Every structure is written in C-alpha cells, then in structure tokens.
Amino acid sequence: MKRRSIYLMTSMLALGALVVPTAAQAVSGASTAPASATRATAAATASPSDCPPTTPNPTTDNVTDYQLDSNAVLPGKWSYEAVNTDNTVSMLHKGGSGVFAADEWALDVTKPEHAWYVKADGSIGTDWRPISETYTVPDEADGKPVHISGSFTSPGGRFRILLAHDGSSDSISGPFQELFSYTGTSTSFDKTFTAAKGDDILFVSDSVQTWWVAGKLKATVTSEINPPAADVTSSPAVGAIDAGKSVTLSTTTTGACIRYTTDGSDPLSSATASVYSKPITISADTDIKAVAVGKGGAPSSVSDLPYVINEPFRAFAGVNQGPTTGLVAGMQWDRQDFDWGTVEPSKGQVDQAALAKYVQQFTEAKAHGVTILPVLDYTAPWAANRTGYSYEFHGNTYEYGPVTGTQGGNFIRELITKDASGKVLSDTTVQTSIGRTPPQNIDDWKNFVKLAVDTLKPLGITYYQVWNEAYPGSGFWEGGMDQYMQDIQLPASQVLHDAGMKLVYGGWICGAPLSEYIALLDKWHAWKSVDVYDMHYMPIGTMQTLYAAAQKRGIKHPSIWQTELGFTTEDKFIADIYPRVFHWALSKGGNNPDQFKLIYFADWSPNDPAAFGYNRTLRSGDGLSTKGKTLVTLAGLLNGAKATTYDSFSTDPGLKPEMNEALSTANGFLIDGKRIVLAIDMKRQNQADIFEDQSTGDTIHLDFGTPMMTVTLRNVHDVKSLDRVDLLGNRMPLTWKTVSHDTIQAQVPIIDSDPTVHALNQTENEDVFYLEADQG
C-alpha cells in the first residue's frame, strides 16, 4: 500500500483563527466563486440610484500609507519598531544606500545579520525576535469603533495583534492586550474595538521558522466615525441549495436599502447592481454580493453570499484536504482531520482557539457548497495507553509492555510476540506512535467524540468518520482489530447515534482482504452500528461485493463509500473509474444522495517532480493536473440537478456497463431529463491494438486508418446536437441519421484529433471519450 500521511497533506491547508464580528463589524474577504456563478434570476423593479448616497469612513492602509520620510509615533500614522521582552519598544531606523534600501526600516542598519526590518510593500523580515508595524489611533476616533482587517503570510511563525492603552499619541508602551494570535503560514483577521485617544495597534511578527525570510502584512484600519449599516444576511444560509429555490436578503438596520449583484462585481459601484425588492430565485451557481446602505450613514461591509446547486454528481464526488473556498469541478465533499490532541491538549482542557479554527474551516467550506467529512482521530498524547496491552492477530499474540520512555512522537516499550501455542517468537524493544496507540480510557475517547459532535452539529455536519485505516501494520493503529472495534468504533457509534448523527467506518485498508472486513463486522454484530461502509483504494467491483454482503445481513439500502481513492500516476484514472461507479450507484435507485461516494486522495501537491504526491493529485501547484482537467470535463458533462441511468443505447463494437476495471465499458446517463451522455472506454487488448467485441467476435484495429464506432440511441426526441467530447473537453460535432421516430444512429471516430489527448490515450493503452446528445 502506498504510504501517505493525512497529516502531511493537511499541512498544505493553512487555517486562520476564527473571528466572530457583529453584523455591523464583519468584513467579507475575497472568495472564489464557482465557474458557473454568473447568473441568477432576480426580480428587481428599482434602479441602484434609489439607494441613498453613502458616507464613507476614513481608512488608512499600512502599505499605501507607508511614510518614507519619518518613523515617528503620530496619531493616524504608522510606525515601525522592535518589541523588547519588557514590553518596551525600540524604533527602527531608515535605510539608505548601504545594507538596507531607502524604503526599509531596520533596528540597526549597519548589521545585516540582525534582519529586523520592514519594507514599504508590507514585508516584515525577522528571525525569532518580535518586530512590529504599529498604527496609532487618531484623536478624533476617541470613543468610536475602530475596525481592523487584512491578511498575513509567513514561511511559518507567529503573528499577533496587540493593543496598547497607554493614552499617549506620541509613544508606545505596554502592557499590551492581545486581540489576535496565529501560528502558521497564512491567516486573515477581522477585529473591532472601541478606541481611546492615543491607542496603538501593534501588528507583531516573531518566532519565524525560516531564518530571515520575510512575511507580509496587509492591514486596513477604519475609524468608524459614521456608523455603518448592519451587514446583509441571507436565508437559507449560504452553501448548497436546490435549483429553483429562492433566497431572501435582509439587514437589521431599519430603513436601510440593499443593493446586490450576481456577477461577482462590487454592489456599491457596479452598473449591474440591483436594488433588492423581493426574493432571488437561484437557478445556477450564483455568488450574490450585497451591501446595505442606511440613510446618511456609511455602507455596510460587502457580504459575499455564494450558493451552489445540489447535484447528484457533485454529491457523489469529493476530495481529501481541498480548499474551503471551492473544490475542483465543483465537487461537494471534502475530507479533513479533526484531531483529538489539538482540541484537547490535556485531559478536560479544551483549546477553544483550536476549536474555533475548525469551526471557521467548516463554516467557510459550507458557505461555498462544500461539506467536510471530519475524521475523528488520533489518540491525544495524554490519553494514550501507557500501562501495556495485548491483542491477537492472524494467529499470533502481541503483548506490549508498559512505556519505558519516549522519543519524538513515539513510545518506547517492550513487545513480546507469541504463536498460537504460546511459544515466544520474539522479544524486542520497539517504538510505537503515541497518537496511534489505543486510549487508556474509553470514556476519554467518547468525550472527545461528543465534543466533536457538539462543535460541528450546529454547522450541519451529519457524517463523522471514525479513525483512519485502523489495521495492524498500517501505520495508523498500534492495536488489534477487536481492540479497535471495542475501544474506538462501537463507543463512537453509541455517541454519534445518540446525537442523531451518522458513522462512517474508518476506511478499510487496501492491504487487507475484504473478506476480513466482512468477518469483523459479523463478529461484532456491527453492521447496523455503521451507517457507511467505507474502504480505501479498493477495486471498484468490491463496492458491489460489500453492498451485497450488507443487504444479505438485512441492510436494505447500504451506503458504500471509498473515502480515499486514486493517488495514482494514471492520468485517465478518473475518466475510467468515475463513470462506471456513478452509473452503478444510480442503478441502485433510492433517494439518498449520500449513499455512494468516491473521494479522491488528494487535492494538491507541489508542482515539483521530487515532491510527495507529484503527478498523483488533482492540482499541481497552482494549476490543474491532467487528472484534474479530466475531472473538470467529466463534471461538466454529468453535472445537473437530476441524473438517472440511460441504457437505451447500443454500440458496435459492443460495449456495456462494467464494474470490472480490466474490461472496456460504456455507461449512459440522462441529465435533467434532456441531455444524454455516454462515457466510452475501449481497452487495447494486445500490442497490435486490436479490440474484440466478445459478444460477436468482430474486431477493430484501433490504429489502422480511421476506426469508427457505430452508436445507436433509442427513446430520443428532438435531438438538437450530438457531440463527441474528448478527455480535455474538446468537442467534435457529429452528424446522425434517423433510424425510426425515436432512434438515431451515428458514426463516431475512435481516435482523438487533438494530439495531446491522442498521445495520452496511446500512453495508457485505452481510448476514453464521451458522447453528448442534447434533446430540445
């Protein structure tokens, strides 16, 4: 099995600290709207000019308002200093033509080894020592709300916002009140406080993890002398919505006018803005931006209110460790860790800041139509078994003694291995992962599960995955399978079901037989304690095997997921596998959109051939990998508010739906009752590239001349277009002939005309393409 760490991939996603401003204080950051977020049906009878004129508030920016001529503490100005251990400050000095440039300030411009400096573009250079960019509140803001918002990036270190109530407009001194603290690589902030004359806001960077590499701060400070209108809110809440539903906008400011756009433009200034007068009907992915304007006052912050349409393929497809602002191809599911040791670093002591980061992550994802599957893991260090335990596995007994020491993240302890007769096979000192060690007390684990539910249930999270790949030797579990069921799975099931939540099994590892998975659930009578039977990196035919096993045991409509799948260099993996499983899933009927899922591992890796995951993920660096591009093409064809199977077709050579990945296949879909999509996959069956129709014996040479496939579509009406679509979305219009009043037939080229796609098909020895028929 390929070894990859969920922790490693999680580190790719920097989480900011949560700030919960009041309605009048919130400022929306930029968000990534879905590609199709261009239209909404809105009934607006008034023009934007009907809203009253706004009175903007004075704003200062640490980059645009940077002063090169002096570094003095003055009202309404920025200054730059080092923060000493006794909460005093040392002003930085102006650079010149020597070590530091003219737009830089440094503690000692003659000592470059002390890389304490700031630059006019917002860069902050330091090592581990605190350096601050400081804004002094102007006298006219005394007693008024002051709003600070912005972002900070760093190679890794600590960023804090401190407030000094020293009462002086020309000096800075402690003690300092901490308004915000973040350790990591990237965060945004949004805070409001009531100012006093001479207050100083310190933006402090320190404890960097990379020597002398600059972070960057972008901060805006607004003295809210004119009270703004309260922010616009929407109902239902932002996120996924059924097509045709309506959204209402509101503000708590009496008499305020609401102006909005649906094309991503600024509702205060855009010519496309409308005045809100009645609910907005959502018929496609739509990013509403709205602002409230009160009479004679300042406008509210712009509210970003994105909605995405609920669609079967989106619900079917997901990814691991994706961004919270929208996934590749509009997928609806993401999978992220919810770590025990992070939220409860010591027994009974909950880290509220850590919980707030998780809440922010899940909330932002929901706002962009993404549902996160939290993985409840791993044992908090304080809760891990230290006294010793044993388990049986495949005929041997493994006895772990008490912990004798620790090294890094591992326990040091004795391990005695015995065979079935009791004979000692080995007696060694081993290191075992602390986080993967079973908990000492089951109640501690149950309390953590309850904490997760209490935190995430209000956000609409229903499904919770329990652990990840618990199996001896997997690297994620240092115990036995009976121990896992007894100490982890079944206790979690009790907590989750008592709360009305659903349990996703912790990913049956691909290195272990599926029959062992079934036997384990049988042994512990656990079929009904599990709501989703999940596995990782299994052949897709095993989904049917597990489905049938669950039905045989009385589960009428089993839910079967693979929450890790892929991590492969095969560029056509998604185009080959997803249509097969999606067709199989739709063929089972039922009304549960969450019954079947494929969640790809993983979203992202660096665009570096030496990096972990290179050419195995959906995105490489900032761009889509080939797999990501093929997913975009497939999703564009299969996205729709309604999807069913379409089986009224035939091909020559003959193809049919297949869950056996080694076989060629054709899978048909009817999207929104109008569009017919066929996904065709022809495997090259020998080195001469001969394909055989095994039902008729006919053969076709896939590289000789211009090989064609005959496709017949039945039960069709008023066909407007028929296109051949390749893996990367290139379209070729086709002609067709009418065979009868409801049947058409077309000759479809097998070989791709696009050289990039043709080379891709040749490399992996199969031809994958699609047909799309649009019925008027």
Q: Is the per-residue pLDDT at 73 higher than 50?
A: yes
Percent of the chain scored above 70 by pLDDT?
A: 92
Instruction: Place 371 in a pLDDT band, splitting at 50, 70 and 90.
Output: very high
Q: Is the per-residue pLDDT at 416 higher than 80?
A: yes
Q: Tell how far CA 515 is from the center of its chain.
A: 32
Q: Is the per-residue pLDDT at 320 higher than 70?
A: yes
* pTM of the predicted structure, to 2 decimals: 0.74
Q: In degrees, to the nearest 5, what angle opens at C-alpha 227 toward C-alphas 226 and 229?
A: 130
More confident residue, 530 or 704: 530
pLDDT tens profile 616-645: 999 999 999 999 999 999 999 999 999 999
CB 408 within 8 A of CB 432: no
Q: Which of 372-381, 683-692, 759-768 has the lowest mean pLDDT?
A: 683-692
3-state secondary structure of 582: helix
CB 228 within 8 A of CB 301: yes
Instruction: Give the per-residue pLDDT at 128.
Output: 78
CB 684 within 8 A of CB 769: no
Q: Which of 143-152, 568-577, 685-694 has the lowest mean pLDDT?
A: 685-694
Alpha helices in 438-486 (DSSP H): 442-456, 481-484
Instruction: Place 297 in a pLDDT band, splitting at 50, 70 and 90.
Output: confident
Q: In degrees, to the nearest 5, what angle opens at C-alpha 39 toward C-alphas 38 and 43?
A: 145
Percent of the chain scored above 90 by pLDDT?
A: 66
The set of residues, in sequence order, having a beta carbon less than 8 Å from that of 320 and lying 6+ positions away, is 6, 9, 334, 335, 336, 563, 564, 599, 600, 601, 602, 603
Q: Is the per-residue pLDDT at 403 higher than 80?
A: yes
Q: In degrees, to the nearest 5, what angle opens at C-alpha 304 toward C-alphas 243 and 121?
A: 145
Q: Taking residues 17-22, what's their average pLDDT? A: 26
**Cα 558 to Cα 490: distance, rounded to the nearest angstrom:** 18
Instruction: Give the per-residue pLDDT at 29.
Output: 29
669, 660, 515: which is closest to 583 by C-alpha?
A: 669
Instruction: Give the per-residue pLDDT at 720.
Output: 96
Q: Is the per-residue pLDDT at 48 higher than 70?
A: no
Q: Is the per-residue pLDDT at 577 higher than 60?
A: yes
Per-residue DSSP letters for 203-229?
EEEE--SSTT--EEEEEEEEE--SPBP
**Cα 758 to Cα 668: distance, rounded to the nearest angstrom:** 23
3-state secondary structure of 9: helix
Q: Is the per-residue pLDDT at 392 higher than 60?
A: yes
Instruction: Give the per-residue pLDDT at 54.
Output: 75
Locate 369 and state its tokens. Answer: 């139509």
Q: Tell how far CA 350 is from the center of its chain.
A: 25
Instruction: Give the per-residue pLDDT at 615.
Output: 94
pLDDT tens profile 90-142: 898 888 767 777 778 888 887 766 557 788 788 888 877 888 999 999 888 88
Most confident among 13-22, 495-504, 755-764 (mean pLDDT): 495-504
Instruction: Place 695 in a pLDDT band, splitting at 50, 70 and 90.
Output: confident
Q: Which of 466-475, 650-659, 700-709, 738-747 has the lowest mean pLDDT?
A: 700-709
List residues bridging with 433 in a β-sheet: 410
Q: Is the per-residue pLDDT at 42 higher than 70?
A: no
Instruction: Give the per-residue pLDDT at 114.
Output: 56
Most confident among 82-86, 169-173, 616-620, 681-685 (mean pLDDT): 616-620
3-state secondary structure of 547: helix
Q: Is the per-residue pLDDT at 33 higher than 50?
A: no
Q: Is the per-residue pLDDT at 277 higher than 70?
A: yes
